[in-house]
Structure 1
Amino acid sequence: MQLQAESNPALNTVTAYGERFIEINAVSYEHAVYFAPEGPVNTWQVHSIADINGTSLQEIAGVEKRKLDPLDFLDGRTGLSKADDAPEVLLIGTGQTQHFLPSHITQPLLDIGIGVETMSTYAAARTYNILMSEGRRVVAALLPLEQK
């Protein structure tokens, strides 16, 4: 399905998707990818929902572990820190259908103010394009669709 007739070459835009591919700026990918509005389209080293873990989400979001102060728990701080340009939301496209991730995987990002939304890859692609066009700081991580 073609999403847009034109794309802004300065911004990563999902231009189409279909069975077993995702097209970003008219370049087709047949593997999982993650990307922000600006910068490269990266290969995401997951092949299924079962491969997604907290470390992979933290890498995509640009979150780093920091040395934990023994008294951080008093302020509810975790051992994670985010950059000033960290995404507001991380969209996870889980293939043909929506699959929810366990809270122990998403909670560390939620605790530092990064929203995590899981939805079908179709919905994630459309949502990403809308948020990106609004100038929001968003990162999409998309699993390809399974063949019917």
Structure 2
Amino acid sequence: MPVLLQKDLNPALNTVTAYGDGFLEINRVRYDGALCFAPEGPIRSLAVRTAADLDAAFLQDLIGLKPAARDPLAFLDDGAPAIELPADAPEVLLIGTGPRQTFLRPDILQPLLSLGIGVETMTTQAAARTYNILMSEERRVLALLLPGASS
């Protein structure tokens, strides 16, 4: 049986309205599988099934991070490539890992944390509720939700 989260909808914002075994409902439209979305913009289906499928490159690509244009002599200062934050970069990335909370390794999170992007992993149910709260507060939040099956 689905759990309803939100009765009132703002049609301009992506809102988690329900979740259940193996599915999520955004703006009263049912989706199966993993999703990524922000308050505004497209709802993207993802080809990941579990938190073990996530790595640093995947998360950086999801957010839209790319190497910044650099001075050709920048290698004299340091060897690390600079990362350019997109204008719409989230303040926080919420990762719902299914019915059980799974923590990601620090090396996966560190590139985002070093850029000032907070990353929180929690159950998908908790992430859906947290997303709706942050979205209603007009925060720049990005949700990556893995539905999983209830146990």
Give TM-score, length-normalised by structure 1. Answer: 0.91
Look up the equivalent residue of 1:70 and give its one-letter code: F
Q: Aligned pair 1:70/2:75, yes or no?
A: yes
In structure 2, the partner of 1:102 is: 105
Shift of 1:66: 2.8
Give 1:80's match in structure 2, choosing from 62, 79, 83: 83
Contact 1:81 1:112 in 2 (8 A): no
Q: Distance between the aligned counterparts of 2:13 and 2:112, measured in 1? A: 25
- Provide Cα deviations, 1:65-108, integer angstroms capped at 9, x if missing partner: 2356325549xx75322112210000000000110000111100
Look up the equivalent residue of 2:89 and give its one-letter code: A
Gaps of 5+ in 2: none
Q: Distance between the aligned counterparts of 1:91 and 1:56, measured in 2? A: 14
Q: Identity over aligned residues, as a percent? A: 55
In structure 2, the partner of 1:42 is: 44
RMSD between superposed Cα atoms in Å? 1.7
* Match runs of 1:106-117 below 5 Å: 106-117=109-120
Q: Distance between the aligned counterparts of 2:60 and 2:132, measured in 1? A: 22
In structure 2, the partner of 1:131 is: 134
Aligned length: 146
Change (3 A) 1:61 1:33: same
Q: Aligned pair 1:58/2:60, yes or no?
A: yes
In structure 1, the partner of 2:16 is: 14
Higher alpha-carbon deviation: 46-55 or 129-138: 46-55
Gaps of 5+ in 1: none
Runs of 4 or more, structure 1, over 6 Å off, are none
Other structure's SS at 2:128 match? helix
Give TM-score, length-normalised by structure 2. Answer: 0.90
Of structures 1 and 2, the larger Rg is shown by 2
Q: Distance between the aligned counterparts of 2:37 and 2:54, measured in 1? A: 16
Change (3 A) 1:46 1:87: same
Look up the equivalent residue of 1:108 and give its one-letter code: P
Shift of 1:145: 2.5
